[in-house]
Structure formats: C-alpha cells, structure tokens
Structure 1
Amino acid sequence: MAVDHDRCVGAGQCALAAPAVFTQDDDGYSSLLPGMEDGGGDPMVRDAARACPVGAITVSEG
C-alpha cells in the first residue's frame, strides 16, 4: 500500500475512514502510520482508498 504524495491534496478522508492506518503530517497531507505499510489487516483500508477524492492511495493485492 502506498500514498502518492504528489497527488494527495490533504482531504483527510483516509485518516477519517481508517485512523489506525493513516495520519496527516504537519502540512496536512496523508501518510501511513509506522508499521502500516501492509494496512495492518484493517478492514477499512479499501474504504479509505475509495474515499480519497484524488485516488492517491494504492492498495496492493496479497
């Protein structure tokens, strides 16, 4: 899973949908919490990716 920081506009929908996986940095842009590169098994990760208005989140299969 990855957040494309060039596309992110800081809407924060991912952090609202899956707060155990995503956070926002000091500039308001989304990032993964430490150790959450695989989503940590959080069932809301896909919802968070769908909620991103600019499609900045990529969820890998596997």
Structure 2
Amino acid sequence: MYGLGDIVEMKKPHACQTNSWEIIRMGMDIKIRCEKCRHIVMMPRREFEKKMKRVLVKKEDQ
C-alpha cells in the first residue's frame, strides 16, 4: 500500500519525462508532486489508484 511521503511511479510519465511522484496530501483526494519539476497534481483517490503503477520508495515511519 502507499502512504504520505512515499515516492510512487505512475503509469504515464509527466511532461518533464520523469515518472516518480511524492505523495504530499492524502484524504478523499490525493496530492502528488513531481520529483523533477516540482509540479503539483491533485486527483481523486479512485483515479490515483487506477493511474499508480507501484511504490518506488516507502517513507519510514518515525
């Protein structure tokens, strides 16, 4: 599963040609930030789950 602060890979790359995104907000909607150009995208959780491919880096709980 995924959580706040995780780095995820989406099915389609961003316009800047990178495919890694950091989850910066979770709730009914999920907000993700591109790791390369820092662009922020917000989408419903259901849409996010369809578009996410896998978790690349899991944030360690402290």
TM-score (norm 2): 0.30
Of Structure 1 and Structure 2, the greater helix share is in: 1
Of Structure 1 and Structure 2, the greater strand share is in: 2
> Relative contact order: is structure 1 or structure 2 higher (C-alpha 8 Å, sep ≥ 6)?
1
| Higher-Rg member (1/2) | 2
